[in-house]
Amino acid sequence: MSKLLHISASPRGPQSESLALAATYLDTVRETEPGVTIEEWDLWDGTLPAFGPDAAAAKMAIFAGTRPTGAAADAWQAAVDTFRRFDAADRYLFSVPMWNAGVPYILKQFIDVISQPGLLFGFDAAEGYTGLLRGKRAAVIYTSAVYGPARGPAFGADFQAPYVEEWLRWSGITDIRTIHFRPNLVTADAEAARRSAHARARDEALLPGSPIVAA
């Protein structure tokens, strides 16, 4: 049975454009693919472990071929448990609003926690990194209130989509689809762009086995 994991990086609840787009996508999946299991993961719910000195020590111990001990071992187990929850799905939906040209720090924390040697990636001194997430799919809904690709540099830059998609590819996920909602909410009427983004979310959800990453 296919499992779709929705990972939400927005803390804005009903005010979140990305969560509204994710809801449109997930509702369409529920209507058209009743056999798909959908799990929601709100990264702001307090369950995400920190990645601090103990976790960093554990990661370097694993790289060195040794086992972490003490507090480092506890931190490593927390990272492994978090990765396993993520790895249990074969399709992903990420809600990723733009913060200061990049991603919310909670999403960066999530990525740092699960990006571990032997779990998400392998490493060879001669060949470099190898992504270990095989046969999985992802899609992204990106939102931003001011930045837009057709606007000048005074409206910001995009370190959001390139970062997320490079990380997904680095992890081994190559089937990536995107939905963008980037109106200039400060000066423009966003309703037409909003309708278009929701229509695209529905269309992506109707594609067989389609993945999504939501902003």
Q: How many residues does the chain have?
A: 215
Write the CATH number of the domain with boundaries 3-206. 3.40.50.360
Helix 70-87 × helix 105-114 angle, to 10°? 100
Please name every residue paired with 3 in a beta bridge, in sequence order, or none if there are none: 37
Structure tokens at 177: 């689809």
> How distant, in Å, are the alpha carbons of 31, 47, 51, 107, 158 from that of 102?
33, 23, 19, 10, 7
Residue 25 is predicted with a pLDDT of: 95
pLDDT of residue 159: 97
Of the candidates 93, 92, 197, the residue with the CA atom closest to the CA atom of residue 144: 197
**Which residue, 107, 181, 105, is CA-closest to 147?**
181
* Residue 54 pLDDT: 97
- Given this model, what pLDDT does residue 189 score? 72
Residue (of 37, 28, 53, 31) closest to 4 by Cα position: 37
Please list the pLDDT of the chain residue by residue as tens digits (215 residues). Answer: 699 999 999 999 999 999 999 999 999 999 999 999 999 999 999 999 999 999 999 999 999 999 999 999 999 999 999 999 999 999 999 999 999 999 999 999 999 999 999 999 999 999 999 999 999 999 899 999 899 888 889 999 999 999 999 999 999 999 999 999 998 766 667 888 899 999 999 989 887 665 556 65
